[in-house]
């Protein structure tokens, strides 16, 4: 019954036209920047990584969830240039009837300009779909989708810019128009070594999109690369609390991300809390 009431908002009712904007993980700032910029490349000795993330809401929207899985492999054809091949799958479930699966292939390359400066570029191409399945009827639509990004890095400071859904495609499901309108993402990230064991990290994030932008500010403190904790303020949307644990860091690390997105400092009419969990397995050289 909840989703029947929300159908005009979700773009499934008759003769409705809506913009589609994919979900956002607050934990991307900790360990999953590849999900907000296709140019992102790991700077350590990681040869490959396998990642899964899950986000679930509580309260009125408790039937809404997001699942993501991606894997990447790093190539170094010489001592300077680094390249990554990546595949990403994501699905958003809005109750028992609505799903929005996406699949991308992603290539990125990082080229050093000087000893301290490097530039990365990335391109992702794939398919975005929207499915509706209920006793009253079924519908399916899919369109090509793509994204591209650039990252400029100077020592421990980096700036990233990316464009997603850059084809501006439109699909129709049960006479409802869903527009994949282009949106842009920007971030600035920096870190400062406070001691041999403590690292302070900061991130500013802006997702420029139709209707209402997403603007976040995050501060994190990492201890010996084993434990990281942080807090994120999402402008008008609330506050997130982030935690990361890294095990077996010398050989093949396993990283666990936990996030709680609260309604503290949320001033929007529709308020929803959510939990995120992420797991990453790295294969080092």
- Strands 17-19 and 176-179 come out as parallel
Q: Where are the domains of the chain?
A: 18-284
Residue 139: per-residue pLDDT: 84
Q: What is the pLDDT of residues 159-209, one digit of tens each?
A: 999 999 999 998 887 777 788 999 999 999 999 999 999 999 999 999 999
Residue 77: per-residue pLDDT: 57
pTM of the model: 0.87
CATH number for region 18-284: 2.40.160.60
- Distance from the Cα of residue 1 to its chain's centroid: 30
Residue 35: per-residue pLDDT: 95
Residue 128: per-residue pLDDT: 94
The low-confidence residues of the chain, meaning pLDDT below 50, are 1-16
Residue 59: per-residue pLDDT: 65
Residue 271: per-residue pLDDT: 65
Residue 135: per-residue pLDDT: 77
Backbone torsions φ then ψ of 218, nearest 5 degrees? -130, 140
Residue 19: per-residue pLDDT: 80
Residue 14: per-residue pLDDT: 36
Residue 80: per-residue pLDDT: 80
Specify the long-range contacts of residues 237-245, CB closer than 8 Å, at least 24 apart.
237/266, 237/268, 238/262, 238/263, 238/264, 238/265, 238/266, 238/271, 238/273, 239/264, 239/265, 239/266, 240/26, 242/26, 242/27, 242/29, 242/30, 242/218, 244/30, 244/31
How far apart CA 285 and CA 77 sit, in angstroms, is 14
Work out the number of other CB atoms within 10 angstroms of the CB of residue 17.
11
Q: Distances in Å between the alpha carbon of 228 and those of 34, 160, 219, 225, 258?
A: 19, 22, 10, 7, 10
Enclosing H/E stretch for 29 = helix 28-31
Residue 43: per-residue pLDDT: 74
């Amino acid at each position: 019954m909840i989703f029947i009431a929300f159908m005009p908002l979700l773009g499934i009712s008759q003769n409705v036209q809506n913009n589609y904007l994919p979900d956002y993980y607050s934990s991307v700032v900790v360990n999953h920047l590849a999900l907000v910029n296709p140019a992102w490349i790991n700077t350590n000795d990681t040869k490959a990584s396998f990642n899964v993330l899950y986000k679930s809401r509580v309260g009125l929207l408790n039937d809404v969830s997001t699942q993501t899985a991606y894997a990447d492999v790093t190539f170094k054809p010489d001592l300077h240039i680094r390249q990554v091949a990546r595949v990403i799958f994501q699905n958003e479930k809005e109750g028992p009837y609505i799903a929005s699966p996406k699949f991308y292939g992603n290539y990125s390359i990082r080229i050093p300009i000087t000893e301290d400066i490097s530039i990365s570029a990335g391109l992702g191409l794939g398919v975005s779909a929207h499915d509706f399945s209920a006793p009253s009827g079924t519908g399916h639509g899919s369109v090509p989708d793509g994204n591209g990004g650039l990252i400029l890095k100077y020592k421990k400071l980096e700036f990233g810019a990316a464009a997603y859904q850059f084809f501006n495609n439109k699909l129709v499901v049960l006479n409802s128009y869903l527009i994949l309108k282009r949106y842009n993402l920007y971030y600035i990230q920096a870190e400062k070594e406070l001691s041999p064991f403590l690292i302070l990290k900061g991130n500013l994030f802006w997702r420029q999109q139709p209707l209402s932008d997403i603007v976040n500010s995050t501060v994190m403190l990492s201890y010996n690369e084993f434990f990281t904790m942080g807090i994120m303020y999402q402008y008008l949307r609330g506050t997130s609390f982030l935690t990361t644990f890294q095990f077996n860091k010398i050989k093949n690390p396993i990283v666990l991300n936990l996030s709680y997105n609260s309604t503290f400092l949320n001033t929007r009419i529709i308020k929803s809390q959510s939990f995120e969990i992420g797991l990453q397995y790295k294969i080092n050289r």
